[in-house]
Amino acid sequence: MNSLKKLRAAAASSRGFRSLRQSVFGGVVLASMLGVHVYGQGQYYPVTPPGAPYGATYNPVVIDSDPDLSYLQFTVQGLYGANVSLQVPLPTGSVAPTTAQYTAAVTLSMHYTVTGTPGVPPGVTLESLAAEAIAWRPADRAATTTAIAQSIIQSSATPAAAVSNLNVLSDALAKAQPTLIDSIIPNVFNAAGSNADVTIASSIPQLMATTVGDISTDTARVGSVISAGLTSIGNSTLTPAQKTAAFTDPSTGAVAALLGSPVANNNPVLIDA
């Protein structure tokens, strides 16, 4: 919670950041009307050296036509200056955000989105922002996903609201990144399990069921997601009795959640995974 407060304070004190937030959507609309791609990225291009800092190839999303990436761009620049850019390739004189800078911008942007703070552009949702933020820099998937999950937990009004939002996140990520979800979703499980609130830490079975329900025909990834969820329960802040309940409770435990999900209903043979 303290880190999020510090980010909000930094944003509030950054010169021009309030006007930047308010102008994000206006900038997207203006660029679209003029047909100008201020942050256009073009086609896929190989990265040299590979993986630094964008992954194996450039992300072909045009930033100024995407409200989520535009919002992240303005947040990054509001926190760290106008020369820090998400554009790929980078404009002359600009630098890409470090992993720490990018995750900080993602954390703050997600906080404003979850809390409904004025200035969040129309079209930016928890689901869309999470998907675009993770896709922008594949090499930082773990750090970005963790930042998103923790920001959602800290920004939700109640523990129950946090669980609901984490379920929305899990569903969105499984649908946006079905072939990579087994490397992404463990970070959401771990963020929930490390929280001191029992309601949030006990939500892992529900998050598991939501995720595998979206990839129910992918046996290998179903098994990987289930294994990650069970590990997160074992490593969670829950007491031994609460962990047992998280595994075996007939209503809310992992076994019950998985048996009630499409992974069992539609594909009974996959439940052994």
Per-residue confidence (pLDDT) for residue 137, from 0 to 100 = 85
Alpha carbon 76 to its chain's center: 16
Per-residue confidence (pLDDT) for residue 122, from 0 to 100 = 93
Domain regions of the chain by residue span: 1-155, 159-273
Q: How far is residue 77's CA from residue 179's CA, in Å, rounded to a whole number?
A: 32
Can you give the length of the chain in residues?
A: 273
Nearest to 197 by CA among 166, 231, 228: 166
Residues 38-83 pLDDT 10s: 333 333 334 444 444 555 544 444 567 789 999 999 999 999 999 9
Query: In the chain, what percentage of residues exceed pLDDT 70?
Result: 73
Per-residue confidence (pLDDT) for residue 48, from 0 to 100 = 43
Nearest to 210 by CA among 179, 195, 188: 188
84 beta partners: 95
Residues 6+ apart with CB under 8 A from 126: 110, 113, 114, 152, 165, 168, 169, 172
Residues 109-166 pLDDT 10s: 999 999 999 989 999 999 999 999 999 888 899 999 999 999 999 999 999 999 999 9
Q: What is the mean pLDDT of residues 2-17?
A: 59
User: Residues 193, 149: contact at Cβ < 8 Å?
Assistant: no
Per-residue confidence (pLDDT) for residue 249, from 0 to 100 = 93
pLDDT at 178 over 90: yes
pLDDT at 2 over 60: yes
Nearest to 180 by CA among 147, 146, 211: 211
Nearest to 234 by CA among 189, 270, 199: 189
- DSSP letters, 131-144, are HHHHHH-GGGHHHH
- DSSP letters, 7-71, are HHHHHHHSTTHHHHHHHHHHHHHHHHHHT--TT---S--B-SSTTSSS-SB-----GGG-HHHHH
